[in-house]
Chain A
Amino acid sequence: MATPISTGSEWTFELIETYDRAIHDIAVGEYGLDIYPNQLEIITAEQMMDAYSSVGMPVNYHHWSFGKQFVSTEKSYKRGQMGLAYEIVINSNPCISYLMEENSMTMQALVIAHAAYGHNSFFKGNYLFRTWTDASAIIDYLVFARDYLSQCEERYGFDAVEMLLDSCHALMNYGVDRYKRPAKLSLAQEKLRQREREEHQQLQINDLWRTIPRRQANGEDSEPVRFPAEPQENLLYFIEKSAPLLEPWQREVVRIVRKVAQYFYPQRQTQVMNEGWATFWHYTLLNRLYEKGLCTDGFMVEFLQSHTNVVYQPPVTSRWYSGINPYALGFAMYQDIRRICQAPTAEDREWFPDIAGRPWLPTLDFAMRNFKDESFISQYLSPKLMRDFRLFAVRDDDREDKLYVPAIHDESGYRQVRQTLAEQYNLGSREPNIQVWSVDVRGDRSLTLRHTQHNRRPLEPNSADEVLKHIGRLWGFDVRLESVDDHGQVSKTFECKVDKAHRELLI
């Protein structure tokens, strides 16, 4: 047996390095995790609050909403209502993990295993992150964004930039390409391309204007031209490219917000998978550390206490229940996949013939790389886990006065419960489906958006009105939002009139 690395709870730089090396040996040497190089940064609680309020990024542009976030974090932290998260990890290359000064040695080791090896390997391996984000360029891009925005502030004033950012932030969730692969970014290229774009767009005033003279020249009534030719799901992209009145710098700002939204999009799609993966690995790695005699019993007790809190799932009847805990579900699922590989039951062989009894490491690796929450759950959630969690589905139909239980954790319900839970993590159905429908090119240039209702779920009207005002500000002409029900009929219309005076103010 080796001697434990440390016995007290105080950390030192040497100890952190020793633990990191030991964990690295296990994670990379024994389990073969593929990771970005790690950068561990020791920070204070105040710095942690700073990091919180700039969505975890070490640099970001300035905006009042981050200040608001900071103010409320600070308030609840000072009152002791909330502890700070133990860790923040940034999907970049090298992968940056923050270790908080106040943590004990055990917690630092836990954070290293969780963030620097768990999340890190997930960022590097999962297909969504590989497709959507470029870890080596994000920090550079944010530096570019911050500098560009402060230049804009100097030139055009704080208020103009702030209003523009407000409007863009309102559409942030609609600033992602869901199906197209984005191009890679790099600082130098980005600067060059930004200038080129600016010039190009100035020369090439967009489709809206180009259509008018041609019609006069032809003088014949052809088919009315549809613009855009097909509905567009990426509202910010559409605005960046087609809003008639935006200045080049404003288009660039829209683009920056869109790029940042795109960067965070995979995180929103892989909550369960990502947190579950990191939790699974800190649990596995630290247990292995203990097996090798590198940490003490006291260390393990402290670690397990904290781990247990993290993966606690309060039942629906509990006062503390607020939905399914992604840490709990994700951790349980990876543990369960490992169990199915190592000790499959007859049920497992029936449900998962392709993984039952196979080596667990490659199976887990495959599961981590090729799924998002939605598909991960519908692929791997096992009947045993549904029983363990005692999952049941509840249907809430506003036409009926009682809730209905369509399925529970039993033989006839497994598939439906699993299907419903997977659907719950589908961002596409969690957020209202709103797309650009058409622009009245030859008339008043008004923009029409369409909300396609899913299961008759309506838009929340107050916020929809507010967001519409923001779109009006960006578009510069009237904006309409039609809500279309399941039968294809427009059931409700929101409208935002942009009057001429306002338009001139905008230019």
Chain B
Amino acid sequence: MSHLIDRRLNGKNKSAVNRERFLRRFRAQIRQSVARAIKGRSITDISSGEKVSIPVRDVSEPTFHHGSGGTREVVHPGNEEFVTGDRIARPDGGGGAGRGGKASDQGGGEDDFAFELSREEFMNFFFEDLALPNLIKTQLTGNSEWKTVRAGYTSDGTPTNISIVRSLRGAQARRIALGAPSLARLHEAEEELDELLERCDEDDPQVRELRREIHQLREKASNIPFLDPFDLRYNNRARVPKPTSQAVMFCIMDVSGSMDEAKKDIAKRFFILLYLFLQKSYDKIELVFIRHHTSAMEVDEENFFHSRESGGTVVSSALVLMRDIIQQRYPTDEWNIYAAQASDGDNWDSDSANCGQLLDTQLLPLVQYFAYIEITEGEPQNLWYEYLRVQAGHPQFAMQKIRNVADIYPVFRELFKRQPSTGREPA
């Protein structure tokens, strides 16, 4: 007789290996798509999947087959009008290739082979460039911290979770509902009996009848169980991810003429990385974009990355603006403040000392972390040296000179080493 097997609990991701092989083979094309997506996306929108398409001819597996031409004879069903000897105009598509069913399985179509990268896969491709250590990747992608919150009641669970008040309240309601009709009748019967007894004897058949009824009703009432398994209610708890609280992230970028598209792209990845880190630790994150040349301005993300200006550079203007914004909108007892600054290192000479001063005394005491990257091929200039001095006195200040995206990670090394939950809890 047949053998029936339940395979549903067996692993369902048998194809994971093959899927991974597929991604591996088309790594180059997928990476392009991912890079394009990173450029096009907003920072806050970075961690979702992505649709990727690859030209069909790249993924096709060639086999020998017939091309169009020659003579072929095909049988079709559903003849309506033709008789032997008819000549028919060729339908569109030339050579009748489209009508033969199997005649041409390539169909000459040049559509792309499109599919979805999952969030994890997308993030892996994103991280690949950044040369992140594996531990950090899991910290960023995995949902590691959970807390249990109460979520009402359920009708089954473990005995330790029984909600006594709820269960008894339910039981009482059930007892009242079930007992009410007979109880009402019982009271009536007792009154009737009292009346009867005033008029008649104990042995009167009516009295005996009433007594029997009262007896039965009492019996019935006492048969209603005090607590039924049906009444039991259990506390329900649900697991939800646990973000600590709120944070604000300042993105500061030099937009003077020397910052070209490539540099801005590196800067963007730098901002994204910090954002991802914050997202793991904080419930709510606000972004503030400050761009500057000789003067600083707060802008939206679109303008931040895509507009170009020229002129000199006064870095302190951005720091002053940041300080003002903090004072106006982000009181430090309510917000965790992070800042990421990207620049190509140019600064008006006598301004660098100002910057150091500002950071030292006014900004760094307020922020959790301040990361600075200098995207340049050239020699460090005075701003770099000034910042080096600042770094010595402040562990929450990190800086790095960057030539390509793989250099970004060291800036965050200190930050990632910390447990996400050690971010200061605002009062």
Give residues 108-136 of B contacting A (CB, 8 Å). 113-116
Q: Mark A290-334, 1 if CB is under 8 A from B, else 0.
A: 000000000000000000000001111110011110000000000
Cβ A173 vs Cβ B63 within 8 A: yes
Asked if B238 CB lies within 8 Å of chain A CBs, one says no
A17 to B, closest residue via Cβ = B4
Complex contact B2–A403 (CB within 8 A)? no
Please, which residue of chain B has its CB at the minimum distance from the CB of A174? Answer: B64
Contacting residues, chain A, for B25 (C-beta < 8 A): 64, 162
- Chain B residues whose C-beta falls within 8 Å of the C-beta of A170 in the assembled complex: 61-63
Partner of A457, one of B72, B82, B86, B90: B72
Contact B4 A13 (CB under 8 A): yes
User: A residues 411-452 with Cβ under 8 Å of B?
Assistant: 412-413, 417, 420-421, 423-424, 430-432, 434, 451
A496 interfacial contact with B, CB 8 Å: no
A166 to B63, CA, bound (A): 11
Select A47's contact among B7, B20, B63, beta carbons within 8 Å.
B7
Question: A350 contacts the other chain (Cβ, under 8 Å)?
Answer: no
Q: Please indicate the chain A residues that have their CB under 8 angstroms from the CB of B151 in the complex.
A: none
Asked if A70 and B15 sit within 8 Å, CB to CB, the answer is yes
How distant is the Cα of A423 from the Cα of B18 in the complex, in angstroms? Answer: 37
Residues of A close to B116: CB separation below 8 A: 75
For residue A315, which residues in chain B have a CB less than 8 angstroms away from its CB? Answer: 77-78, 80
With A389-B77, A393-B75, A455-B70 given, is the CB distance from A402 to B90 under 8 Å? yes
Bound: A395/B100 CA distance, A: 11
**A53 contact set on B, CB distance < 8 A:** 15, 18
Query: A14 — nearest CB in chain B belongs to which residue?
Result: B4
Please determine whether A324 and B62 come into contact, CB atoms closer than 8 angstroms. no
Contact of B3 among A40, A396, A463 (CB under 8 A): A40
Q: Is the CB of A50 within 8 A of B5?
A: no
A225 in the interface (beta carbon within 8 A) = no
Does B8 have its Cβ within 8 Å of any Cβ on chain A?
yes
- In the complex formed, the residue of A with least CB distance to B75 is A421
Contacts of B19 in A (CB 8 A): 67, 70-71
Interface residue tally of chain B, by bracket? Answer: 35 or more
Contact of A394 among B4, B23, B83, B88 (CB under 8 A): B88
A317 CB to nearest B CB, Å: 6
Q: CB-CB < 8 A to B83: which residues of A?
A: 405, 408, 410
Q: Does B73 contact A (CB under 8 A)?
A: yes
Given contacts A173-B64, A434-B64, contact A324 B18 (CB under 8 A): no
- Is the pair B3, A47 in contact by a Cβ cutoff of 8 Å? no
Known contacts A70-B19, A396-B73, A407-B84, A467 near B13 by CB under 8 Å = no
B242 → chain A closest CB, angstroms: 30
CB distance from B67 to the nearest CB of A (A): 4
What's the dominant secondary structure at chain A's contact region?
mixed
Q: Which of A50, A63, A396 contacts B71 (CB 8 A)?
A: A396
**Chain A residue, CB-CB nearest to B19:** A67
User: Out of B8, B17, B66, B82, which one reaches A408, CB within 8 Å?
Assistant: B82
Q: How far is the CA of A158 from the CA of B20 in the complex (A)?
A: 12
Find A463's partner among B12, B62, B71, B90 (CB 8 Å cutoff). B62
Q: Which residues of B contact A116 (CB under 8 A)?
A: 2
Asked whether any CB of chain A lies closer than 8 Å to the CB of B74, the reply is: yes
Q: What are the residues of chain A within 8 A of B4 when measuring CB–CB?
A: 13, 16-17, 20, 40-42
- Map CB proximity to B onto A1-30 as digits: 1 under 8 Å, 0 otherwise: 000000000000100110011001000000
Query: 1/0 per position for A452-493, CB-CB distance to B under 8 A?
Result: 011111111111101100100000000000000000000000
- Which residues of B have CB within 8 Å of A314? 78
Q: Does B21 contact A (CB under 8 A)?
A: yes
Which B residues touch A21, using CB under 8 A? 1
Which residues from chain A contact B70 at a C-beta distance below 8 Å? 397-398, 453-458
Given contacts A39-B3, A50-B13, contact A62 B78 (CB under 8 A): no
Known: A170-B62, A317-B78, A401-B90. A408 touches B71 (CB 8 A): no
Q: Is A135 an interface residue (CB 8 A)?
A: no
Does B88 contact A405, Cβ atoms closer than 8 Å? yes
Note all chain B residues with C-beta closer than 8 A to A162: 21, 25
Closest to B80 in A: A317
The answer to whether B114 and A41 have CB atoms under 8 Å apart is no
A101: interface (CB < 8 Å): yes
User: Could you tell me the distance in whole angstroms from the C-beta of B261 to the nearest C-beta in chain A?
Assistant: 32
B59 at the A interface (CB under 8 A): yes
Structural contact, A67 and B71, CB atoms closer than 8 A: no
Question: Within the assembled complex, what's the spacing in Å between the Cα atoms of A397 and B90?
Answer: 10
B residues within 8 A CB of A13?
4, 6
* Interface flag for B36 (CB, 8 Å): no
What CA separation (Å) do A464 and B73 show in the bound complex?
Answer: 23
Cβ–Cβ < 8 Å partners of B10 in chain A: 47
Please state if A431 and B64 are interface contacts (CB–CB under 8 Å).
yes
A206: Cβ under 8 A from any B Cβ: no
Contact B79 A64 (CB under 8 A): no
Whether A215 is near chain B, meaning CB under 8 Å from some CB there, is no
Q: Does B157 touch A at the CB level, under 8 Å?
A: no
Within the complex, the shortest CB–CB distance from B175 to chain A, in Å, comes to 36
A463 vs B86: C-alpha distance in the bound complex, in angstroms? 35
Return the chain B residue nearest A39 by Cβ.
B3
What is the CA–CA distance of A317 and B78 in the complex, to the nearest angstrom? 7
B1 to chain A, nearest CB (A): 7
B65 at the interface (CB under 8 A from A): yes
Kindly state the separation between the CA atoms of A431 and B71 in the bound complex, as whole angstroms.
14
Q: Is the CB of A47 within 8 A of B87?
A: no
Judge whether B62 and A40 touch: CB under 8 Å. Answer: no
CB neighbours of A470 from chain B (8 A): 62
Report the Cα distance A434→B59, complex, angstroms: 24
B12–A391 CB distance below 8 A: no
Asked whether, in the complex, the Cβ of B74 is within 8 Å of the Cβ of A393, the reply is yes
B245-262 to A contact mask, C-beta < 8 Å, 1/0: 000000000000000000
Does A243 count as interface, using CB distance less than 8 angstroms?
A: no
Which of chain B's residues 78-107 have a Cβ closer than 8 Å to chain A?
78-80, 82-90, 95-96, 99-102, 104, 106
Chain B hits for A313, CB < 8 A: 77-78
Q: Is residue A404 within 8 Å, beta carbon to beta carbon, of the partner chain?
A: yes
Residue of B nearest to A100 (CB): B8
Cβ–Cβ contact A423 & B23, under 8 A: no
Given contacts A65-B61, A162-B21, A174-B64, contact A424 B74 (CB under 8 A): yes
A460 touches which one: B2, B75, B106 (CB < 8 A)? B106
Cβ–Cβ < 8 Å partners of B84 in chain A? 405-408, 410, 412-413
- The B-contacting residues of A in range 69-85, CB under 8 angstroms, are 69-72, 74-75
Contact B15 A402 (CB under 8 A): no
**Smallest CB separation, A344 vs chain B (Å):** 24
Q: Roughly how many angstroms separate A49 CA and B16 CA in the complex, as a whole number?
A: 11
Contact partner of B22 among A47, A68, A434, CB < 8 A? A68
* B308 CB, min distance to chain A CBs, angstroms: 39
Q: Are A390 and B77 in contact (CB under 8 A)?
A: yes
**C-alpha spacing A461/B83, complex, angstroms:** 36
Q: Would you list 12 pairs from A and B whose C-beta atoms are within 8 A, ordered by A residue? A: A39-B3, A50-B15, A67-B17, A67-B19, A68-B22, A313-B77, A390-B80, A391-B75, A396-B90, A398-B71, A453-B70, A457-B72
Not counting A41-B5, A463-B64, a sample of 12 additional A-B residue pairs whose C-beta atoms are within 8 angstroms of each other reads A62-B17, A67-B18, A68-B113, A70-B19, A173-B64, A389-B77, A392-B76, A395-B73, A402-B90, A424-B74, A454-B70, A457-B71
Q: Which 10 A-B pairs have the closest CB atoms?
A: A315-B78, A323-B101, A67-B22, A457-B70, A466-B62, A67-B18, A460-B67, A456-B70, A38-B2, A46-B12
Residues of A within 8 A of B (CB): 13, 16-17, 20-21, 24, 37-44, 46-47, 49-50, 53-54, 62-72, 74-75, 94, 101, 116, 158, 162, 166, 169-170, 172-174, 313-318, 321-324, 389-398, 401-410, 412-413, 417, 420-421, 423-424, 430-432, 434, 451, 453-464, 466-467, 470
